[in-house]
Structure 1
Amino acid sequence: MVDFNAVRAIDIHTHAEEPCGTHADDGYDDFQQHMKQYFRMGHSPQPTVAETAQYFRERNIAACIFPVDAERETGFRRFNNYEVAEQAAEHSDILIPFASIDPAKGKIGAREARDLVENHGVQGFKFHPTMQGFEPNDRSAYVLYEAIAETGKPALFHTGQTGVGAGMPGGMGMKLRYSNPMLIDDVAADFPEMPIILAHPSFPWQEEALAVATHKPNVYIDLSGWSPKYFPPILVRYANTLLKHKMLFGSDWPAITPDRWLSDFEQIDIRPEVRPLILKDNARRLLGA
């Protein structure tokens, strides 16, 4: 298990991106190359779970790692949650497994969520409304939320613009409006006991995200997916004040590396007493660690 006293930070947002048996003809490799160009990655966009663990181990940073189940919407076969949990367990000194389930799977998805927590050590769930093609407040998703709420584990939702499909014809069919944080405000109101994380600075809805996190006690914000040097001033202001106990470090590995994120984080105007809250303490409390 992760020694939370020893690690210097907890990265709440890392991706399991390895091909997991898919073939180039399903479009996944082309998609990943566009992601590499969009984020200007100088490394492989598809590290294995073992490679990810080694990277984070060398930096003494714990990492919450998850796949994204978007096979219905994209045609890319998912990285099976049980595989991710099994591989994360092999690196349990540094990796914390999250899972991802398409809400369209209804009751079978809810059954999977309960099993993953009860029997496979999963500590949270990732949703990407734009990539999965659903409105977070659609009542059809509630059967899955109910199962997650029962477990007490957090649900992490992508918010704002996305690099997924960026520059591809029609944005690969991705609808940005699905990731407006105001849609997740409905979920936070209807599931007040379920911890919710709004992932990323929520451009172009940054103020909406701050409003939701300020209003709903169960809502947090992770700061992944952007270099901190691009954070809007209002986000930095709230991180230093009203939401200092609800902001979470996240990189968006492998799109953005913790090395880059942490280096840029050092350069922005975050109060000294707030930095440890963002880097580790808030996530540790949220995870019950």
Structure 2
Amino acid sequence: MVDFTKVKAIDFHTHAEEPCCDHRDDGYNEFQAGMAAYFKNPAGAQGMLPTVQDTANYYRERNIAAVIFPVDAERETGFRRYSNEEVAGICAENDDILIPFASVDPHKGKAGAREVRRLVRDFGVRGFKFHPTMQGFYPNDRETAYTVLEACAEEGAITLFHTGQTGVGSGMRGGMGMRLKYSNPMYLDDVAVDFPDMPIVLAHPSFPWTEEGLAVAQHKPNVYYDMSGWSPKYFPETFIRYANSILKKKMLFGSDWPAITPDRWLADFEAAAFKDEVRPLILKENALRILGEATS
């Protein structure tokens, strides 16, 4: 298990990418190339994606713990699914640094709920990543989403939702079919009401709905914000202002590895206008709270 007294930070948003690229025929390579261009990062170029073990090694060298997950969007995108069990197994082999999350397409309904329970009980998964734009659903759609979310709540799992615009499909023909409307954070206000004891993390600054996301995080005690997907030097002024004040105990360091490396994120965070007393909250202490660990 991660010794949280020794790591210097907790990255709450890293991706497990399937370690095979050169022979795929499902559009995944084109998707990764588009992501690499959008983030100006060569990691998405063919054959250059880090494995989960590579990720563990990278974070161990930096003494940073990492929440890691695949994304189950096979139904909507056609991209072959990276096994939750395989990712969790590699996390178990590197449990000094990796914190296992998983992903289940909410369209799977009762079968998805069964998978959630099995992953938590048998594989030690701590939370679940949802990507409304990639998975094609509204988070507050009771018929589509709530069966899986009910299982997450019953198992005491953390839920992490992509919000706002996404680099996925950005600038590509038709946006690769990605519909941004699904990722408005205001839909998660309903989820927070209906599951008041389930930890909910809004991923990314929620552009162009940043103020809606900040409102939900302020209003609902069980809603947090991870700050991934953007370099801190591009954060909207209002986002930093809330992080420095009424949401200082709700903000979580997240990079969006491998699209954005923690080295880049942390360097830009150091130069951004965050208060000194807020920085340790963002980098580690808030994550400890939501993970249920005692702060040191």
* Interval of TM-score (by shorter of Structure 1 and Structure 2): over 0.9
Alignment partner of 1:229 is 2:233: yes
Which residue in 2 is equivalent to 1:252?
A: 256
Once the two structures are superposed, residues 63-116 of structure 1 have per-residue CA deviations (whole angstroms, 9 ceiling, x without a partner) of 000000000000011101101100111111100000000000000100110111
1:14 Cα deviation after fit: 0.1
Which residue in 2 is equivalent to 1:184?
A: 188
Alignment partner of 1:126 is 2:129: yes
1:20 Cα deviation after fit: 5.3
Change (3 A) 1:162 1:21: closer
Unmatched segments (≥5 aa) in structure 1: none
Change (3 A) 1:117 1:20: farther
Alignment partner of 1:46 is 2:68: no
State the distance in 2 between where 1:244 and 1:23 align: 45
Alignment partner of 1:137 is 2:136: no
Unmatched segments (≥5 aa) in structure 2: none
1:123 Cα deviation after fit: 0.6
How well do the aligned residues superpose, as a CA RMSD in angstroms?
A: 1.1
Alignment partner of 1:266 is 2:270: yes
State the distance in 2 between where 1:153 and 1:237 align: 29
Alignment partner of 1:81 is 2:84: yes
Q: Does structure 1 retain, via aligned residues, the 8 Å contact 2:202–2:223? A: yes
Q: Does structure 1 retain, via aligned residues, the 8 Å contact 2:203–2:226? A: yes
Q: Where does 1:1-289 land on structure 2 (aligned, <5 Å)?
A: 1-19=1-19, 23-44=23-44, 46-139=49-142, 140-289=144-293
Q: Does structure 2 retain, via aligned residues, the 8 Å contact 1:101–1:109? A: yes
Amino acid at match of 2:18: E
Once the two structures are superposed, residues 214-247 of structure 1 have per-residue CA deviations (whole angstroms, 9 ceiling, x without a partner) of 0000000000000000011111110011000000
State the distance in 1 between where 2:292 and 2:196 align: 17
1:42 Cα deviation after fit: 3.4
State the distance in 1 between where 2:159 and 2:30 align: 29
State the distance in 1 between where 2:43 and 2:118 align: 35
Q: Does structure 2 retain, via aligned residues, the 8 Å contact 1:201–1:223? A: yes
1:210 Cα deviation after fit: 0.3
State the distance in 1 between where 2:145 and 2:96 align: 33
Amino acid at match of 1:236: I
Q: Runs in 1 of length 4+ with deviation above 3 angstroms? A: 19-23, 42-45
Amino acid at match of 2:71: V
State the distance in 2 between where 1:279 and 1:146 align: 30
Q: TM-score, normalised by structure 2?
A: 0.96
Give aligned-pair identity as a percent: 71
The 10-residue stretch of structure 1 (145-154 or 250-259) with the greater mean CA deviation from structure 2: 145-154
The 10-residue stretch of structure 1 (68-77 or 43-52) with the greater mean CA deviation from structure 2: 43-52
1:22 Cα deviation after fit: 8.8
Q: Does structure 2 retain, via aligned residues, the 8 Å contact 1:22–1:77? A: no
1:108 aligned counterpart, secondary structure: helix
The 10-residue stretch of structure 1 (197-206 or 34-43) with the greater mean CA deviation from structure 2: 34-43
